Amino acid sequence: MGGYGPGRQLDGLAAVARAALVRRIEASGVWAADPGWRAAFAAVPRHLFVPYYYVGVAGGYERRWGESADRGARERWLRGAYEDTPLATRLRDGELLSSSSQPSLMADMLAALDVADGHTVLEIGAGTGYNAALLAHRLGDDKVTTVDLDPEITESARRHLAAAGYHPVVVTGDGARGVPERAPFDRIIATCALSTVPCAWVAQSRPGGRILMPLATGLIVLTVTGAGDAEGRFLHTPAYFVPLRGTGRPGGESAQLGGVPRRAREDDLFRFLLALTRGSLDPQEAHALWEQEGRPQRERYGITVRGEREWAWLDDPEGPYAWPLPS
C-alpha cells in the first residue's frame, strides 16, 4: 500500500478485497463488451485514493483512516475501501463536498462511455482521482484529462494518482467550461450532477463523440452530431451525485406534493420526472402524466441540445411531451 506507511502490512488483505469487489461487479455482466475495464478495476488499488473517508453514524460521521495506530481500525478502513459503496471523502460543516462513487456505478458509467483504444477523454470532477486512474489504465495517461474547481481536490488527486503509478493531466478550473486547450475530446464523462448540458462540452467534443453525465437523478448519454448539437437517452440506472461546484445545486422536485398519492411521492421514477421537469410541470401535472404514460422508466426519456436550446422529452424529441431545461 505504497505511500501510506503503517498500512503496508495489509497488502495481502487489499489484494483479496479488491479481487472480491471485481468478482461482484463482474457478475452483473457489465464488462462483457469491453473486458479492458475488468483489467482496470483489478489493477487500480482503490484504497490508495481514499487514505481516509467518512461513514455515517448516529449523530454524524465517523472518520476511517489508513494511518491509524490501531491495526483493527486500519483493517476496517481497508475493507471499507473495497465495499461496493460510495465513500464520503470531503466534508465541510456537515455538507458533502466530494466522494468516491460506488464502484459498480462507476463500472456502469465507464462501460456506457463506450471507449475505444486511442480515444481521448475529459472527466469533469476529479474527486479522489480513482476514476481518472481507471481511465488512464484503460486508455493511457496521455489520453485522459480530469478537471476540478477546487485546488485542494486536484492536488490530492495528483498525489493519489502518482502513488498508484498513473499520471493523467489534472487541471484546476471550472469544469462547466471544459478544458479547451486539450480539446477536442472523443468522450466526456461527468462525475458530478448538473441541471443542464454545458455548451462548452458539446463544442469541445468531436462529431460522433459521447457525453455521459448525471442529471435529474439519472444518467444521460448524448451523441454529439456537430455544430453544437447533441441528443440521447437516459440509462436505466438511478444516480445521485454531488453537484458541480460553481453551478449551484441542481434543483430537485418541488416540496409541494399535496394531492399526490404517497405511493407516487415515494417512487424513484416519479421523483426523477419531477426533477427533470422542474419549472415546467407542477407535481400534480407530473403525476397525471406519469400515470397516463404507464409510469415510464428512465430509458423513455431523453435530452436534445440544439445550440443554446436544450429540452428534455418523453419518447420522442419532437413529440407532445417536451420540457425546456433551466437556463
Read off φ and ψ for residue 276, nearest 5 degrees: -70, -35
pLDDT at 245: 67
Query: Taking residues 53-59, what's their average pLDDT?
Result: 85
Mean pLDDT across the chain = 91
Q: Which residue has the higher pLDDT, 130 or 1?
A: 130
pLDDT of residue 222: 98
User: What is the DSSP secondary-structure string of 92-126?
Assistant: ETTEEEEEEPPHHHHHHHHHHH---TT--EEEE--
Look at residue 7 and tell me whether its pLDDT is greater than 50: no
Average confidence (pLDDT) over 32-56: 96
* Residues whose CB is less than 8 angstroms from the CB of residue 236 and which lie 6 or more positions away in sequence, other chains included: 297, 298, 299
User: In a 3-state reduction of DSSP, which class is residue 25?
Assistant: helix
Write the pLDDT tens digit of every residue in 236-295: 999 999 888 655 545 444 446 767 998 999 999 999 999 999 889 999 999 999 999 999
Residue 13 Cα to chain centre, angstroms: 27
pLDDT in tens, 113-164: 999 999 999 999 999 999 999 999 999 999 999 999 999 999 999 999 999 9
As a whole number of angstroms, the distance between CA 103 and CA 239 comes to 12
Range scoring the smallest mean pLDDT among 30-39, 68-77, 255-264 = 255-264
Q: What is the pLDDT of residue 253?
A: 45
Q: Which amino acid type is present at position 135? A: L
Is the pTM value of this prediction over 0.75? yes
Summarize the confidence of residues 38-52 as an average pLDDT: 97
Percent of the chain topping pLDDT 90: 80
CA 142 vs CA 47, 138, 174, 192: distances in Å: 24, 11, 21, 23
Mean pLDDT on 54-61: 83
Q: For residues 196 and 97, what is the distance between their CA atoms, to the nearest angstrom? A: 20
pLDDT category at 62 given cuts 50, 70, 90 is confident
pLDDT band at 51 (very low <50, low <70, confident <90, very high): very high
Between these two residues, 230 and 9, which has the higher pLDDT value? 230
pLDDT at res. 256: 63
* Residues forming the active site: 98
Residues 244, 192 contacting (CB under 8 angstroms): yes
Q: Is the omega angle on the peptide bond into residue 184 within 30 degrees of 0, that is, cis?
A: yes
Q: What is the pLDDT of residue 11?
A: 80
> For the ranges 13-17, 97-101, 218-222, 281-285, which has the lowest average pLDDT?
97-101
For the cut 80, the answer to whether the pLDDT of residue 213 exceeds it is yes
Q: What are the CA-CA distances from residue 221 to residues 97, 169, 212, 216, 260 (Å)? A: 25, 24, 5, 13, 30
Q: What pLDDT does residue 9 have?
A: 63
